[in-house]
């Protein structure tokens, strides 16, 4: 899968995608993540990516031309399944969205900034608008990082044990059961006996019950 991220702050994302699982996925050739600086597609000498809004409101709006040039350039090289815009007024991102996006070949994510982007970009170039939650960030970069991380880790082979993506929180609308590692007792705090029993059927039952109990207690909305 290939993800092209369009931003005015590529440095914000560079480090994130060069670490841990995201770096591993790219090195293994399972995911390609390309950062594009929108400023590179300006033609004026000040490399302006924003301008004052028509109508006299406060704030700056991202200009249409550099973004259109960049998207047109990318589209001339390959077909894209989605051109996503990160925005607090988009549809809410969740595990289901991550699952479906992880099946796509080529995706563009445009990070918004300032007061927004010229609305014509949303009308003519964007196929999907996604929010990562009901709060406002200073820009879409963190939203693009959150979405890309949760999408890429679902690509088969990215996690060393594929099972671990299948047993994630939210995969069955259930929260994951608690996990423990050695030592089996620390300061008198014990790991549940059943996990040391070696009886897989009992362990599976216990884990399922724990998932149900935690979901009922912490996220009852998921069971509706």
Residue closer to ligand ADE, measured from CB, 125 or 174:
125
Q: Any contact of residue 86 with ligand ADE (CB under 6 A)?
A: yes
Among 143, 151, 154, 175, binds ligand ADE (CB under 6 A): 143
Among 104, 137, 155, 176, binds ligand ADE (CB under 6 A): 137
SS3 content of the chain, % helix, strand, coil (to 5): 40, 20, 40
Q: Any contact of residue 9 with ligand ADE (CB under 6 A)?
A: no
The size of the interface with ligand ADE (CB under 6 A), counted in residues, is 12
Stretch touching ligand ADE by CB under 6 A, among 46-54, 73-81, 137-145, 171-179: 137-145
Stretch touching ligand ADE by CB under 6 A, among 1-9, 125-133, 182-190, 210-218: 125-133
**Radius of gyration of the chain from its Cα atoms, rounded to whole angstroms:** 22
Stretch touching ligand ADE by CB under 6 A, among 43-51, 132-140, 180-188, 192-200: 132-140
Q: Any contact of residue 132 with ligand ADE (CB under 6 A)?
A: yes
Q: Measured between alpha carbons, how far is residue 167 from residues 37, 96, 120, 146, 179 in Å?
A: 37, 14, 41, 19, 12
SS3 211: helix
Tell me how far apart the alpha carbons of residues 9 and 37 are, in angstroms, rounded to a whole number: 7
Q: Assign 3-class secondary structure to 29-43.
A: CCCEEEEEEHHHHCC
What is the DSSP-derived secondary structure letter of residue 8?
S
Residue closer to ligand ADE, measured from CB, 49 or 131:
131
Q: Any contact of residue 87 with ligand ADE (CB under 6 A)?
A: yes
Q: Any contact of residue 116 with ligand ADE (CB under 6 A)?
A: no
Stretch touching ligand ADE by CB under 6 A, among 50-58, 83-91, 99-107, 149-157: 83-91
**C-beta atoms surrounding 220 within 10 Å:** 9
Residue closer to ligand ADE, measured from CB, 136 or 201:
136
Write out the E strands in the chain: 2-7, 32-37, 50-51, 61-62, 82-92, 106-111, 128-131, 185-186, 189-190
Residue closer to ligand ADE, measured from CB, 2 or 128:
128
Are residues 38 and 8 in contact, defined by beta-carbon separation less than 8 angstroms? yes
Shortest distance, CB of residue 91 to ligand ADE, whole angstroms? 10
- Interaction site with ligand ADE (CB under 6 A): 86-88, 112, 131-133, 135-137, 140, 143
């Amino acid at each position: 899968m290939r993800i092209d991220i369009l931003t005015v702050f590529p440095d914000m994302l560079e480090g994130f995608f060069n670490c841990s699982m995201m770096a591993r996925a790219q090195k293994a050739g399972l995911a390609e993540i390309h950062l594009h600086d929108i400023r590179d597609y300006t033609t004026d000498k000040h490399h302006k990516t924003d301008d004052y809004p028509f109508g006299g409101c406060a704030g700056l709006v991202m200009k249409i031309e550099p973004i259109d040039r960049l998207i047109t350039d990318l589209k001339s090289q390959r077909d894209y399944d989605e051109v996503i815009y990160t925005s607090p007024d988009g549809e809410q991102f969740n595990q289901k969205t991550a699952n479906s996006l992880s099946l796509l070949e080529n995706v563009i994510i445009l990070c918004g900034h300032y007061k927004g982007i010229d609305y014509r970009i949303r009308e003519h170039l964007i196929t999907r608008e996604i929010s990562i939650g009901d709060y406002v960030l200073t820009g879409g970069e963190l939203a693009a990082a959150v979405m890309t991380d949760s999408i890429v880790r679902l690509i088969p082979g990215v996690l060393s044990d594929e099972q671990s993506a299948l047993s994630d929180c939210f995969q069955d609308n259930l929260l994951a059961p608690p996990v423990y590692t050695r030592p089996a007792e620390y300061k008198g705090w014990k790991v549940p006996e059943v996990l040391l029993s070696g009886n897989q059927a009992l362990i599976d039952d216990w884990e399922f019950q724990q998932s149900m109990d935690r979901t009922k207690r912490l996220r009852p909305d998921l069971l509706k």
